[in-house]
């Protein structure tokens, strides 16, 4: 393994881990039940869909692009699954269809970006509107999922019991599995290395023989599939689908990636860092709930403030190098 | 009937006058959409006068579209420098919150409230400008910060409450009518003239286009690209503040969660549809207004045809992707090779 | 003398309107460093790009180790056995040294990259070059010199036989250059055929066994380095053929005007850009700056105009201490610069001729004091007439004008600001003969009107014709100053070749 060293690339990552620890320990000292296992488990379970989607967006940012369609695709997937199950499809089939749809949606955006040299910002903005509208075409309002697969199998059978009263929800398991899989993909596959290379310097990567078009289309495909998986996890969590939900989720996802040490210019970032970023957002939310008197909007302000600090940190590091 | 005739003759004349300007294409698209409505959407062109003011779908287009038009004016200048401002929707929420707080809670005068709200917009714009021009942070990233935090700040100002107000002057801002036409139309036109004077009456417009066209060459010429960039973000903040006032006035309250939600995207779209390239350079102020009207007409059309407002994003997405493709250098190259019969648009002033 | 491993015959490459490479023969032999030399537009980079598949050739043949090759991309050239290290390091800054050496050819087991194998392979590749670098270090944390060596390690890690080094030394300091050369000599002794592109004469003579000179896309000749005197090399590169411009009336430049210098600098320099130098220029004087490409002549202009900041020495304007910290400050001090690269540094392509012409004057007046349209139109018509700018209308976009007319607009842009000091960096490059003559005439007129002019030009004849004094740059330092009877091509070339004008022989 790589030796631990405080190179400029790892400073943001170390900083975000430090922020997470400070926030968490601070919470434990300030509030009685904050340090309980239940709070910790819920931190993973409640933010699982955000985490899965944020990991998709991390790959896109690593490649030097951006994906604004994440929140809308998560919502579309959730209502698509609920709708398909409502029409009598088995949940597993509905999930498979949704994942394939998400991947195809991402592939389409990636193709437009790569083949027609369009700005990712505008194409994924179009994707966002399209997915948001399509969700309402599928079903205009919230639709609950009433199927034994969801009610018993996912909620009961698949959750891992810790104590008699406490178990780890399947959503948390999904999140951890995705983080592990994505970390391996990013670190030990040629695709993962090519994504980084393109984000760091596309011109050099081309000269070095990296397949640019294939890799970039694949990145958006992967992000689309992970957004869809985020939608799947969201249906596990909510036991329903809603086309109007997750507005602005892409902002939280981008914020989580940036706070977790991914540079928005591409090329530098860590998948576990994004998990750290997601957990920081979760801890801030939990802190505000525990505090009681502070209102929920402090979450947004705190996230914005952290985003500013980390972007500033990135800027200082990049400039120092020049 | 004669009104109908006058309208179409006027529109045709407008197209003819602008036949060699970049604004021709969005204007043509708007005309076609209106023509489509003329024959297939019953009642779209109906206007009636009640209590001395006009009502009808066309009036709705102007009234509803006014916020995006105001935003688009500022966004045009930002995009012309090669940047983008994602935070204008959030700035609208902040301005609305300041307005409601000052009149609704602090019980100060309407004038003070309006000045405070506009000052909040300017301040937010200055923050963006500082990040982009001072710290040289990439515009998407820099304005993302306020986009994320802005609504939280707005809620902080109103303490999470939805504050209602009834002051006639404030209600008039977004709902009143002047000479039978919505006051927002006057406001948009006044702002358009002010912006046009600001950029064409001074050298600001030239500097913006120079910086957006070739920043290196501008630097070699002794231009301060950073000062120009700072100014356009401040101006975009001001426009967003004004749009925030209109939005708050429309619903007679400040709603930090929903005021201006996604309007930054509509504004960017309006600018791009209006003929200003995302890469910067030449800008089309009038084109952006037409672009905003086009988007609003599209929404109003769907509404008039009883299409759910929720599905409206789908046609909008198709417009975005179509415009993207039309602006794609790759596709343009292919089209150019097919034939050179398309009329050339001259790069004229806005 | 060994047989060539790479033989190119009759290589030709055409671009719209220009033959960039015209039937060039080129040979690379194992165990030899072969330098490729030439001035701007000589065809060096086109030749390299033809060999590496960036611009596949239009005609001719390339035979590598007995097999005809037709690379269509750098990747294919690499697979065929030609590796290239570019001037701007073409590696991935955010990846580790090891990964940069192995990217695209990583060993995997079941799809998993074997990082251990990669590190070993990278260490071995670096060790072969005798370079000690921590392979886990991120590339952008290494110095440019190390990055250059990593690029060489990557290029030599595959079993290629030919290594192209395209201006590898342009951003290295002396000790780093020596380190690089040690590695290159080592590779040469192992039997690599090395093609070395550089503008630095000293480095070429220190390293190369053989020199091929190109000019205007044609082969001038292939020479053994030991048998080619420097002066001869410079003469070959500059081309002493009859230039169309020499048909112009030769005007004897007037004597140097009396008076205090308008601008003078002492010990003025910038690390890794220009070695400290002294210069002065008076009103009514044209100071020529001679030197080969990369000699530092452009960098001097950048320093004087405040595009880069000097980190040593001092500047006086009209006897008073001054510092140009930015182009804005230069604009206020009434300095003007027409840059070398017209397309990327001067023209605003989608703005009109009028807007391009008034922009500098407007920049000096600031945002709020707009030049009235009437005055703009007056300036435009005044300068279009005075400079003979051919445009269908002042509202024409400048990108639709010819190169010569664009250059005149840029000149007019600065003349409109009524400058005291005019810095002209290759104002006649890439423009037609008629426009060139116009610009030379204008130069004399402006000089007579009392402007101080610093004139940078690659063409020594043109330089000698138009200057009253010439400062000669070589390898980023000023090596000579020529006046009076020394204002001729031979003296300039001697100074470029040897560092001073009086050196009698090679």
Q: Where along chain A do its domains lie?
A: 11-321
Q: Decide if B203 and C371 are in contact by the 8 Å CB cutoff.
A: yes
Question: Is C171 inside any structural domain?
Answer: yes
Least CA distance to A204: which residue of chain C?
C90
Long-range Cβ pairs for the range B115-119 (8 Å, 24+): B117/B241, B117/B244, B117/B245, B118/B238, B118/B241, B118/B242, B118/B245, B119/B241
Q: Report the alpha-carbon distance of residue A48 to residue A172 in Å, rounded.
A: 6
Dig out the tokens for C119 from the structure. Answer: 């590190």
| Number of CB atoms found within 10 A of residue A275's CB | 26
pLDDT recorded at residue B338 = 63
Instruction: List the alpha helices (DSSP H) in B41-158.
Output: 57-80, 88-100, 110-129, 139-158
Neighbours of B, requiring at least 3 CB pairs below 8 Å, are A, C
Q: Looking at C201, C220, C238, which one is the last position of a domain?
A: C238
Beta bridge partners of A143: A241
Nearest alpha carbon to residue A224 among A133, A102, A75: A102
- Give the single-character DSSP code of C192: -
Percent of chain A whose predicted confidence (pLDDT) is above 90: 54
pLDDT recorded at residue A321 = 55
When CB atoms are compared, the residue of A190, A200, A208 closest to C93 is A200
Least CA distance to B214: which residue of chain C?
C348
Domain A11-321 has CATH 2.60.120: no
Contact C429, C298 (CB under 8 A): no
Question: Is C261 inside any structural domain?
Answer: yes
Give the predicted TM-score (pTM) of the model. 0.83
3-state secondary structure of C469: strand
B214 to chain C, any CB pair closer than 8 A? The answer is yes
Examine the domain organization and report whether C280 and C361 are in the same domain.
no
The structure tokens 């800008």 sit at B283
Q: Are strands C112-113 and C108-109 parallel, antiparallel or unpaired?
A: antiparallel
Q: Decide if C327 and B227 are in contact by the 8 Å CB cutoff.
A: no
The CATH number of the domain holding residue C132 is 3.40.50.300
B226 to chain C, any CB pair closer than 8 A? The answer is no
Q: Are strands C112-113 and C162-166 parallel, antiparallel or unpaired?
A: unpaired
Q: Decide if A304 and B330 are in contact by the 8 Å CB cutoff.
A: no
Examine the domain organization and report whether C56 and C134 are in the same domain.
yes
Examine the domain organization and report whether C156 and C168 are in the same domain.
yes
Tell me the backbone φ, ψ of residue C9, rounded to 5 degrees: -130, 130
Average of pLDDT values for B104-122?
91
Q: Report the alpha-carbon distance of residue B139 to residue A38 in Å, rounded.
A: 41
User: Where residue B249 falls among pLDDT bands split at 50, 70, 90?
Assistant: very high
* Exposed e or buried b per residue across B198-229, where buried means at least 16 C-beta atoms within 10 angstroms of its C-beta: ebeebbbbbbbbbbbbbbebbbbbbbbbeebb
Task: Give just the sign of the alpha carbon dihedral A108, B144, B263, A81.
Answer: positive
Q: Decide if B160 and A298 are in contact by the 8 Å CB cutoff.
A: no
Q: Decide if C99 and A267 are in contact by the 8 Å CB cutoff.
A: no
Kindly list the residues from chain A whose CB atom is less than 8 angstroms away from the CB atom of residue C136. Answer: 2-3, 5
- Give the single-character DSSP code of B104: I
Q: Decide if A140 and B145 are in contact by the 8 Å CB cutoff.
A: no
Residue C128 burial (10 A CB sphere; 0-12, 13-18, 19+): middle
The structure tokens 């975009």 sit at B236
Percent of chain B whose predicted confidence (pLDDT) is above 70: 95
Contact C8, C27 (CB under 8 A): yes
In chain C, how many domains are there?
3
pLDDT recorded at residue B89 = 93
Kindly list the residues from chain C whose CB atom is less than 8 angstroms away from the CB atom of residue B210. Answer: 348, 351, 355, 359
Question: Is C443 inside any structural domain?
Answer: yes
| Number of CB atoms found within 10 A of residue C119's CB | 19
Contact A135, B325 (CB under 8 A): no
Beta carbon pairs, B and C, within 8 Å = 80
More confident residue, C248 or A283: A283
Q: Looking at C238, C266, C291, which one is the last position of a domain?
A: C238
The structure tokens 């269809």 sit at A97
pLDDT recorded at residue B1 = 64
Kindly list the residues from chain A whose CB atom is less than 8 angstroms away from the CB atom of residue C78. Answer: 209
| Number of CB atoms found within 10 A of residue B2's CB | 6
Q: Are strands B53-55 and B48-50 parallel, antiparallel or unpaired?
A: antiparallel
Q: Report the alpha-carbon distance of residue C415 to residue C384 in Å, rounded.
A: 12
Examine the domain organization and report whether C302 and C441 are in the same domain.
yes
Percent of chain A whose predicted confidence (pLDDT) is above 70: 96
| Number of CB atoms found within 10 A of residue C266's CB | 14
Which residues does B9 contact at the CB level (< 8 Å), separation at least 6?
none
Mutate to test the interface with A, among B83, B145, B254 (most CBs of A within 10 A): B145
Q: Report the alpha-carbon distance of residue A299 to residue A295 in Å, rounded.
A: 8
Examine the pLDDT at C294 and tell me if it is beyond 60: yes
- With the CA atoms of B283, B286, B292 and B295 taken in that order, what torsion angle do they form, in degrees rounded to the nearest 10? -100
Examine the pLDDT at C247 and tell me if it is beyond 80: no
Dig out the tokens for B69 from the structure. Answer: 């038009």
Kindly list the residues from chain A whose CB atom is less than 8 angstroms away from the CB atom of residue B318. Answer: 126, 130
Examine the domain organization and report whether C314 and C396 are in the same domain.
no
Residue A142 burial (10 A CB sphere; 0-12, 13-18, 19+): middle
pLDDT recorded at residue C428 = 83
3-state secondary structure of B56: coil
| Number of CB atoms found within 10 A of residue C312's CB | 14
Examine the domain organization and report whether C222 and C253 are in the same domain.
no
pLDDT recorded at residue B33 = 85
Question: Is C505 inside any structural domain?
Answer: no
Q: What are the angstrom distances between the C-alpha of A270 and each of A9, A108, A143, A258, A277?
A: 10, 26, 36, 10, 11
Examine the domain organization and report whether C146 and C225 are in the same domain.
yes
Task: Give just the sign of the alpha carbon dihedral C136, C139, C144, C149.
Answer: positive
pLDDT recorded at residue C242 = 39
Question: Is C506 inside any structural domain?
Answer: no
The structure tokens 């309107």 sit at C17
Examine the domain organization and report whether C410 and C433 are in the same domain.
no
Q: Tell me the domains of chain B and their CATH numbers.
A: 61-338 (1.10.3470)
Examine the domain organization and report whether C197 and C275 are in the same domain.
no
Q: What are the angstrom distances between the C-alpha of C354 and each of C87, C166, C377?
A: 38, 41, 7
Kindly list the residues from chain A whose CB atom is less than 8 angstroms away from the CB atom of residue C112. Answer: 184, 188-189
Question: Is C35 inside any structural domain?
Answer: yes
Dig out the tokens for A57 from the structure. Answer: 């967006």
Q: Looking at C180, C205, C238, which one is the last position of a domain?
A: C238
Question: Is C1 inside any structural domain?
Answer: no
Q: Give the pLDDT confidence of A108-138 residue by residue, as tens digits.
A: 999 999 988 888 888 898 898 899 989 999 9
3-state secondary structure of C472: strand
Examine the domain organization and report whether C130 and C77 are in the same domain.
yes
pLDDT recorded at residue C254 = 65
Give the range of the structural domain holding residue C369, as residue numbers without chain letter: 337-418
Examine the domain organization and report whether C397 and C425 are in the same domain.
no
ipTM of the complex: 0.85
Examine the domain organization and report whether C380 and C437 are in the same domain.
no
Q: Report the alpha-carbon distance of residue A2 to residue B6 in Å, rounded.
A: 76
Least confident of B198-207, C210-219, C372-381, C487-496: C487-496
Which helix (H) or strand (E) is C211 found in, with range?
Answer: strand C210-215
Examine the pLDDT at C2 and tell me if it is beyond 90: no
Q: Give the pLDDT confidence of B6-64 residue by residue, as tens digits.
A: 888 888 998 888 887 778 888 888 888 888 888 887 777 877 877 777 778 888 888 88
Kindly list the residues from chain B whose CB atom is less than 8 angstroms away from the CB atom of residue A299. Answer: 152
Average of pLDDT values for C20-38?
91
Least confident of A93-97, B62-66, B297-301: B297-301
| Beta strands per DSSP E along C248-395 | 261-270, 274-282, 285-290, 312-317, 320-322, 335-338
Q: Decide if C328 and B206 are in contact by the 8 Å CB cutoff.
A: no
Percent of chain C whose predicted confidence (pLDDT) is above 70: 94
Neighbours of C, requiring at least 3 CB pairs below 8 Å, are A, B
pLDDT recorded at residue B347 = 38
Tell me the backbone φ, ψ of residue C313, rounded to 5 degrees: 85, 180
B202 to chain C, any CB pair closer than 8 A? The answer is yes
Kindly list the residues from chain C whose CB atom is less than 8 angstroms away from the CB atom of residue A209. Answer: 74-75, 78, 103-105
Question: Is C426 inside any structural domain?
Answer: yes
- Give the single-character DSSP code of C246: G
Q: Decide if B155 and A295 are in contact by the 8 Å CB cutoff.
A: yes
What number of residues does chain B have?
350
User: Where residue C240 falls among pLDDT bands split at 50, 70, 90?
Assistant: low
Q: Give the pLDDT confidence of C341-385 residue by residue, as tens digits.
A: 888 899 999 999 999 999 999 999 999 999 999 999 999 999 999
Average pLDDT, chain A: 89
User: Where residue A313 falls among pLDDT bands split at 50, 70, 90?
Assistant: confident
């Amino acid at each position: 393994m790589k030796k631990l060293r405080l190179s400029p690339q790892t400073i943001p990552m170390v900083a975000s881990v430090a922020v997470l620890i400070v926030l968490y320990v601070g919470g434990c000292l300030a509030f009685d039940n904050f340090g309980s296992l239940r709070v910790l488990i819920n931190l993973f379970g409640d933010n699982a869909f955000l985490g899965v989607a944020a990991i998709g967006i991390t790959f896109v940012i690593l490649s030097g692009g951006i994906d604004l369609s994440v929140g809308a695709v998560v919502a579309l997937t959730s209502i698509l699954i609920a709708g398909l199950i409502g029409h009598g499809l088995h949940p597993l089939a509905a999930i498979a269809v949704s994942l394939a749809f998400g991947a195809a949606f991402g592939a389409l955006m990636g193709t437009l970006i790569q083949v027609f040299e369009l700005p990712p910002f505008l194409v994924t903005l179009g994707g966002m509107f399209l997915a948001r509208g399509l969700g309402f075409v599928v079903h205009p309002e919230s639709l609950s999922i009433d199927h034994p697969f969801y009610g018993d199998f996912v909620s009961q059978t698949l959750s891992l019991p810790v104590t008699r009263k406490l178990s780890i929800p399947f959503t948390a398991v999904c999140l951890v599995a995705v983080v592990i899989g994505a970390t391996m993909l990013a670190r030990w596959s040629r695709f993962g290395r090519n994504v980084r290379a393109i984000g760091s310097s596309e011109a050099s990567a081309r000269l070095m023989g990296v397949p640019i078009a294939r890799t970039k289309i694949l990145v958006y495909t992967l992000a689309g599939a992970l957004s869809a998986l985020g939608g799947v996890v969201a249906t596990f969590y909510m036991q329903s689908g809603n086309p109007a939900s997750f507005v602005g989720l892409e902002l939280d996802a981008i914020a989580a990636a940036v706070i977790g040490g991914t540079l928005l210019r591409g090329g530098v970032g860590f998948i576990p860092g994004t998990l750290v970023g997601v957990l920081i957002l979760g801890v801030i939310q939990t802190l505000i709930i525990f505090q009681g008197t502070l209102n929920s909007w402090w979450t947004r302000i705190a996230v914005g403030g952290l985003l500013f600090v980390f972007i500033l940190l990135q800027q200082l590091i990049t400039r120092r190098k020049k | 009937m004669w009104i109908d005739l006058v309208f179409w003759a006027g529109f045709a004349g407008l197209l003819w006058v602008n036949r060699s300007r970049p604004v021709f294409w969005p204007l043509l698209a708007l005309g076609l959409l209106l023509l489509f409505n003329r024959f297939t959407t019953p009642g779209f062109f109906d206007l009636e006068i009640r209590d001395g003011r006009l009502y009808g779908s066309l009036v709705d287009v102007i009234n509803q579209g006014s916020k995006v038009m105001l935003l688009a004016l500022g966004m045009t200048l930002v995009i012309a420098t090669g940047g983008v401002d994602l935070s204008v929707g959030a700035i609208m929420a902040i301005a609305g919150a300041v307005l409601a707080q000052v009149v609704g809670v602090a019980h100060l005068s309407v004038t003070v409230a309006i000045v405070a709200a506009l000052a909040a917009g300017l301040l937010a714009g200055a923050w963006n400008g500082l990040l982009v021009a001072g710290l040289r942070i990439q515009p998407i990233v820099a304005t993302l910060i306020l986009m994320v935090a802005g609504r939280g700040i707005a809620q902080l100002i109103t303490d999470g409450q939805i504050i209602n107000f009834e002051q006639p002057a404030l209600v008039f801002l977004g709902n009143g009518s002047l000479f039978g036409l919505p006051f927002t139309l006057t406001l948009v036109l006044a702002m358009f003239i002010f912006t046009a004077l600001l950029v064409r009456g001074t050298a600001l417009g030239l500097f913006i286009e120079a910086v957006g066209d070739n920043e290196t060459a501008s630097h070699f010429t002794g231009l301060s690209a950073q000062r120009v960039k700072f100014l356009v973000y401040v101006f975009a903040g001001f426009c967003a503040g004004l749009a925030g006032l209109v939005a708050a006035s429309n619903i007679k309250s400040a709603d930090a969660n929903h005021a201006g939600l996604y309007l930054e995207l509509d504004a960017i779209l309006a600018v791009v549809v209006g003929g200003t390239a995302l890469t910067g350079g030449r800008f089309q102020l009038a084109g952006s207004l037409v672009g905003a009207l086009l988007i609003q007409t599209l929404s109003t059309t769907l509404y008039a045809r009883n299409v759910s407002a929720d599905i409206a994003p789908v046609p909008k997405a198709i417009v975005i992707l179509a415009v993207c493709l039309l602006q794609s250098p790759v596709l343009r190259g292919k089209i150019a090779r097919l034939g050179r019969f398309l009329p050339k648009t001259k790069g004229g002033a806005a | 003398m060994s047989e060539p491993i790479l033989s190119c015959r009759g290589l030709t490459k055409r671009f719209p309107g220009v033959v960039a490479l015209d039937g060039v023969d080129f040979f690379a032999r194992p165990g030899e460093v072969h330098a490729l030399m030439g001035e701007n537009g000589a065809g060096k980079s086109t030749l390299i790009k033809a060999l590496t598949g960036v611009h596949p050739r239009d005609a001719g043949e390339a035979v590598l180790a007995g097999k005809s090759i037709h690379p269509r991309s750098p990747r294919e050239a690499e697979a065929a056995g030609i590796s290239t290290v570019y001037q701007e390091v073409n590696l991935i800054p955010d990846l580790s040294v090891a990964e940069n050496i192995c990217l695209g050819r990583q060993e995997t087991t079941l799809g998993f990259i074997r990082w251990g194998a990669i590190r070993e392979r990278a260490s071995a590749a670096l060790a072969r070059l005798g370079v000690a670098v921590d392979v886990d270090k991120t590339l952008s944390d290494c110095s440019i010199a190390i990055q250059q060596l990593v690029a060489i390690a990557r290029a030599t890690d595959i079993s290629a036989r030919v290594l192209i080094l395209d201006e590898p030394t342009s951003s290295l300091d002396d000790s780093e250059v020596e380190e690089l050369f040690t590695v290159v000599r080592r590779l040469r002794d192992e039997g690599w055929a090395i093609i070395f592109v550089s503008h630095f004469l000293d480095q070429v003579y220190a390293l190369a066994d053989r020199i091929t000179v190109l000019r205007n896309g044609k082969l001038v000749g292939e020479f053994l380095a030991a048998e080619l005197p420097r002066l001869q090399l410079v003469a070959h590169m500059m081309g002493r053929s009859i230039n169309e411009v020499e048909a112009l009336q030769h005007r004897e430049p007037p004597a140097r005007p009396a008076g205090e210098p308008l601008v003078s600098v002492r010990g003025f320099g910038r690390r890794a850009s220009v070695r400290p130098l002294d210069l002065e220029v008076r009103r009514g004087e044209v100071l020529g700056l001679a030197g080969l490409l990369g000699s530092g002549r452009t960098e001097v202009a950048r320093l004087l105009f405040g595009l880069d900041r000097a980190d040593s020495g001092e500047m006086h304007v009209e006897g008073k201490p001054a510092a140009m910290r930015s182009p804005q400050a230069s604009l206020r001090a009434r300095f003007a610069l027409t840059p070398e690269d017209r397309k990327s540094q001067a023209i605003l392509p989608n703005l009109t001729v009028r807007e391009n012409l008034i922009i500098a004057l407007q920049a000096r007046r600031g945002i709020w004091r707009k030049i009235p349209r009437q005055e703009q139109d007056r300036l435009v018509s005044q300068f279009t007439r005075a400079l003979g700018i051919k445009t269908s209308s002042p509202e024409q976009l400048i990108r639709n004008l010819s190169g010569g007319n664009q250059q005149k607009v840029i000149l007019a842009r600065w003349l409109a600001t009524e400058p005291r000091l005019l810095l002209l960096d290759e104002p006649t490059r890439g423009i037609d003969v008629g426009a060139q003559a116009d610009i030379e005439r204008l130069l004399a007129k402006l000089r007579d009107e009392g402007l101080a002019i610093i004139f940078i030009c690659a063409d020594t004849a043109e330089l000698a014709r138009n200057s009253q004094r010439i400062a000669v740059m070589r390898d980023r330092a000023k090596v000579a100053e020529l006046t009076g009877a020394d204002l001729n091509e031979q003296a300039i070339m001697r100074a470029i070749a040897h560092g001073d004008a009086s050196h009698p022989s090679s």
